Amino acid sequence: MEITNDTADEMWLRASVMMRRANHQTFEVNVDATGEDAVSLRLRSEIVQWLRAPLVSDSAHATVILRTVTAQVADGLKLEGPAADEGWHIHVPALSEHEKGKSSDPVIIESPSTRGLLYGFYAWLEGAVPSASMKPQDKISSPDQPIRMLDQWDQSDGSVERGYAGESIFYGRWGSNVHSEFVNFPDRGAQDVFRGDTDRLIAYARFCASVGINAICLNNVNVRGYAIRFIQDPWLSRVAQIAHIFESFGLSVFLSVNFAAPRIISGLSTLDPCNSDVQQWWDKTVDRIYERIPHFGGFVVKADSEGEPGPYQYGRTHADGANMFARALARHGGTVIWRAFVYNSHTDWRDRSAAADRARAAWENFHDLDGKFAKNAVLQVKFGPVDFQTSEPLNPLFFAMKHTNLIMEFEVTAEYLGHQIDLNFPLPQWEQMASWLVEKNVPVSKTLGLYAPNPQLTGFAAVSNVGMDWNWTGNPLAQANLFGYGRFCWDNNIPTTSVSEQWSALTFPRCDQDHQKTIARMLDQSNEIYKHYAAPLGVGFMVNRDGHYGPGPDDYEFSRWGTYHFADRDGIGVDRTQSNGTGYVGLYPEKQAKMFENPNTTPDDVLLFFHHLPYAFRMKDGRSLIQRIYDDHFEGAARVEDLIRQWNSCKKFVDECRWKEVSHRLLLQQANACEWRDEMCTFLYRFSGISDEHGRKINR
């Protein structure tokens, strides 16, 4: 199979693809991963395809050598951390020697594992593109987190929950463009099918591996329809085919399961996780999965949340629920990932008590269970306590769980961040969240897993943003978000600018360096710009309820979803203080609690998350709260024009297709930003009666 599929965009491998096409250099490659396991086979085929090079058995004459070594890769160079075995060391000889093909000084890529060799190979390939330097050097790198996972919210009918890039690349509907051999299951008349576009899945798996992603969950956490049956044949055999592709690129494959599957599939009368029939049902199911997928990663479970079934119905805890799956999976080395996104959506906006504060929910449901989860169970906690908003403080559960394996969850998909229409590169947000964990100079790479009972079971997961769109992500620039996520999982402290510049150089290799930097700058500014014109200062959920794009300041305000901003004639924001509010602040360790209790020490970004403040409240910069909100919204909208100007300056360096697609979306973003500005300013002016000091015109 060819590396690129002409119908698919090459994302950040574009530069490498171009290099490959133009390359007249001849390589001779020696690789000591000679086994027949899936990763070794894939590594060898990737090398042959990318370098158009023969594999030679004699390393003495090779120009590129890939070899497995111990963590002590070279004199004085050692791979470290909980995922050291996935790290790599690359030795690049001086360019001139290498060009002359001096076999005495080959490129050397080494790692303790074949998976690490694959990562090292891509890293070398990316670094070897003509625009990047190819100085003689030794580079050594290992991932900060052992779990670097993507969650697909793809559904068996081909739709993607919160997906903004077309249909699922995995599943489709009968009659749409799917390969017929994937359709005819003996389940008579099923409309939902596996798409069977193997080329696209291979391409996606390669993108994931090229940025070090090592785990993937293949279906949405809301497990509906035929997806409930993915754990059984005949669906399981299709899942196994997909799993085989991803495993060959070093990704462990997970499935989301429905807690009620034993009843739905086999008619069991109870789902009580402590009932032996239920346990046995899962044991058998898991056994069958491992017969088909011997390296299966495990399950992801959303229970007792947003209408999904769970252990509460049987008077059991989430640890009871998780441990039932953990027991079944442990016999095969699998893991259960249990989501902490559990809240009661039936609240009343008039109720301002602690019990009605949705921000407390994850903590209330889980903090007591610390230490009660099985060793192969991981708790997956959204970064913020509410729901992937533009600005939230770090979920206090990260401080409370001292004996539990933890994953921090993000969205690469832009659910609340502009639907991949508005430019929004969220790396700064992720880094900020992770940095909150840093204490006493212990880096995030260590703090997240500091107390994990199993240091191998800690890391990040994020909802992916790809679909069948020609460019994978709807907005070609949103490819950077996927790339950035991989880089961030690998190196938790990687500076935003270095990621955006790297991505832009790899993705726009025909662009000159200045304009590559212009594109990178657009990305770097984008998250801040979006935050300026969306819900102000961490108050959250002013988004349109119908799909979460654009303003809807009242949409959630009087609903039962428990996400309120409480704007009224006197002020805006949620009082979560200990002295006067819901007491949420008290869930943090003392240092943070002290900072959040006082509006003058609370970071502006999350000010209204923690405090209900009068419009005249003096901000740190001397402006009144209301003026600051007006100013931010005007500034945010104006800065979108700036983005448009910057993109226009790139026109002659970017192919027409991508240029037009991005231009079109920037215009939509401009309209969206103006709508946010006008609606928010009008909304708050109506309540406060306080005019904008600058007398700017609000259009509505």
- For the annotated catalytic residues, the residue numbers are 306, 387, 415
Three-state SS for 367?
helix
Least CB distance to ligand GCW at residue 564 (A): 16
Helix (H) or strand (E) holding 499: helix 496-507
Contact of 353 with 387, CB cutoff 8 Å:
no
Please, which residue, 145 or 220, has the CB nearer to ligand GCW? 220
Please, which residue, 9 or 154, has the CB nearer to ligand GCW? 154
Please, which residue, 143 or 459, has the CB nearer to ligand GCW? 459
Please, which residue, 119 or 485, has the CB nearer to ligand GCW? 485
Residues 6+ away with beta carbon under 8 Å from 476:
9, 658, 661, 662
Least CB distance to ligand GCW at residue 311 (A): 17
Please, which residue, 12 or 341, has the CB nearer to ligand GCW? 341
Least CB distance to ligand GCW at residue 341 (A): 5
Least CB distance to ligand GCW at residue 612 (A): 24
Phi, psi of 66 (to 5 degrees): -115, 125
Contact of 215 with 250, CB cutoff 8 Å:
no
> Residue 614's beta-bridge partner residues?
571
Please, which residue, 113 or 256, has the CB nearer to ligand GCW? 256
Residues 6+ away with beta carbon under 8 Å from 307:
none
Residue 386 is encoded by which pair of tokens?
């509410």
> Which DSSP symbol is given to 69?
-
Residues 6+ away with beta carbon under 8 Å from 113:
68, 85, 86
Least CB distance to ligand GCW at residue 30 (A): 46
Give CA–CA dist 42/33, Å, rounded.
Answer: 10
Least CB distance to ligand GCW at residue 387 (A): 4
> Residue 151's beta-bridge partner residues?
217, 463
Three-state SS for 488?
helix
Least CB distance to ligand GCW at residue 666 (A): 25
Give CA–CA dist 188/374, Å, rounded.
Answer: 40
> Residue 442's beta-bridge partner residues?
439
Least CB distance to ligand GCW at residue 635 (A): 28
Residues 6+ away with beta carbon under 8 Å from 296:
243, 252, 253, 254, 289, 290, 332, 334
Runs of H (alpha helix) within 259-352: 261-266, 276-292, 318-330
Please, which residue, 197 or 422, has the CB nearer to ligand GCW? 422
Contact of 195 with 174, CB cutoff 8 Å:
no
Give CA–CA dist 159/255, Å, rounded.
Answer: 17
Runs of H (alpha helix) within 100-165: 114-127
Least CB distance to ligand GCW at residue 34 (A): 43
Nearest to 378 by CA among 271, 252, 485, 211: 252
Contact of 220 with 155, CB cutoff 8 Å:
yes
Nearest to 356 by CA among 578, 538, 583, 543: 583
Give CA–CA dist 213/150, Å, rounded.
Answer: 7
Q: What count of other Cβ atoms lies within 10 Å of the Cβ of residue 164?
A: 22
Contact of 329 with 457, CB cutoff 8 Å:
no
Contact of 537 with 518, CB cutoff 8 Å:
no
Please, which residue, 561 or 610, has the CB nearer to ligand GCW? 561
**Chain residues that interact with ligand GCW, rule: CB under 6 A:** 153, 161-162, 220-222, 302, 341, 387-388, 415
Please, which residue, 161 or 283, has the CB nearer to ligand GCW? 161
Instruction: Give the CA count within 13 Å in the CB-facing half-sphere of 641.
Output: 5
Least CB distance to ligand GCW at residue 221 (A): 5
Give CA–CA dist 556/547, Å, rounded.
Answer: 12
Least CB distance to ligand GCW at residue 153 (A): 6
Please, which residue, 341 or 490, has the CB nearer to ligand GCW? 341
Amino acid (one-letter) located at 201: L
Please, which residue, 116 or 538, has the CB nearer to ligand GCW? 538
Helix (H) or strand (E) holding 380: strand 377-382
Least CB distance to ligand GCW at residue 420 (A): 15
Contact of 299 with 273, CB cutoff 8 Å:
no
Give CA–CA dist 666/662, Å, rounded.
Answer: 6
Q: Which residue number has the CB closest to ligand GCW?
A: 387
Residue 227 is encoded by which pair of tokens?
């997806």
DSSP 217-285: E-S-SS--GGGGGTTSTTHHHHHHHHHHHHHHTT-EEEEE--TTHHHHHH--S---TT-HHHHHHHHHH
Please, which residue, 257 or 520, has the CB nearer to ligand GCW? 257
Least CB distance to ligand GCW at residue 466 (A): 16
Three-state SS for 205?
helix
Contact of 595 with 604, CB cutoff 8 Å:
no
Strand 64-68, strand 77-78: pairing: unpaired
